[in-house]
Amino acid sequence: MRFYIVDAFSDQIFGGNPAGIVLIDEKDDFPSEDIMQKTAAELRYSETAFIKKVREKEFHTRYFTPAAEVDLCGHATIGAFSVLLNKGIARTGDTYINNTIAGALNIEIGQEAIYMDMGEPKEIFKICEEKDLKELYDIMGLSHEDQGLFNGKKLIPQAISTGLPDIMLPVRDENQLNAISPDFKALAKLSEGYKVVGVHAFTLNTKDGNIHCRNFAPLYDIDEEAATGTSNGALTYYLYLNNIIGNNSVNQFIQGEAMGRPSRIISRLLLDNEKVKIQVGGNAVILASGNINI
């Protein structure tokens, strides 16, 4: 099997979020789940995507963290299709179907970025009770008081999914965002209890006008991630639900600064017959490639 190491949501190597990409030949079946899990653990990236062409303009992708298979991964998808573009298997200007556990999702390869459809956006629950807010922010190393203030409005944590469920955690400003220092063991336990992947912390009160965020998923052996497509897709829906953005909005998220791997993730929100459609996009660069001798 041919594998690639790709830095996604960046146009420079050593930026963005690295992912493992494994290309499965059209005539071959996916390896066993055990082999894919061991491969992901051996590559040691937060996610590894195994992608196979099934017919013209249609692919099947499975995603593995070092600990488990997951339904969808944004940065690994952007990375996978950048590899397909580099190898001439996909072409700029075309749209493809990517079959995942989260559904059959469109991939648009544009001149400036690769865009992927998110799964159907869903609000799962809100965290409103004082004791629950205190517990959550305490685990993240912050006080729960005066968090989430934006233009005089109080924002509260909500669990949102556009393929994977995460808790959207609003914080007051960039200083508070940078001050986050989670108790990872407690966060993993909390995530398991809430049945979410992890916590996506963000602030709207920024100097550059972009949305800055950090992502934590220790339940899946990812203490912090430099770029998270599904989480920023979920955050896009959160912003829509809270009347911060509207139809035809284009949003830019900056993530990974605390890790020294700044990433740029773009999202687009469209209303189609009152149904919300969210796309997440970005660029990727190939760092290395090789063969897996199995």
76 pLDDT higher than 90: yes
State the CATH number of the domain containing residue 55: 3.10.310.10
Question: Which of the four pLDDT bands, split at 50, 70 and 90, describes residue 246?
Answer: very high
Question: Which of the four pLDDT bands, split at 50, 70 and 90, describes residue 23?
Answer: very high
User: Are 133 and 259 in the same domain?
Assistant: yes
Taking the C-alpha atoms of residue 106 and residue 96, their distance in angstroms, rounded to an integer, is 6
Are the CB atoms for 133 and 104 separated by under 8 Å?
no
User: Are 111 and 143 in the same domain?
Assistant: no
DSSP annotation of 31 reads: P
Q: Is 71 helix (H, G, I), strand (E, B) or coil?
A: coil
Which pLDDT score, from 0 to 100, does residue 18 have? 92
User: Are 266 and 164 in the same domain?
Assistant: yes
The C-alpha angle 17, 233, 199, rounded to 5 degrees, equals 70
User: Are 174 and 261 in the same domain?
Assistant: yes
User: Are 73 and 129 in the same domain?
Assistant: no
pLDDT mean across residues, the chain: 94
User: Are 250 and 189 in the same domain?
Assistant: yes
Stretch 130-153: mean pLDDT: 94
102 pLDDT higher than 90: no
**Domain that residue 156 falls in:** 122-280
User: Are 78 and 127 in the same domain?
Assistant: no
Which pLDDT score, from 0 to 100, does residue 294 have? 81
Are the CB atoms for 11 and 78 separated by under 8 Å?
no
Stretch 207-221: mean pLDDT: 94
User: Are 158 and 250 in the same domain?
Assistant: yes
User: Are 128 and 146 in the same domain?
Assistant: yes
Half-sphere exposure of 159 (CA within 13 A, CB side): 19
User: Are 154 and 218 in the same domain?
Assistant: yes
Q: Give 250's contacts (C-beta < 8 A, 6+ positions apart).
A: 266, 267, 268
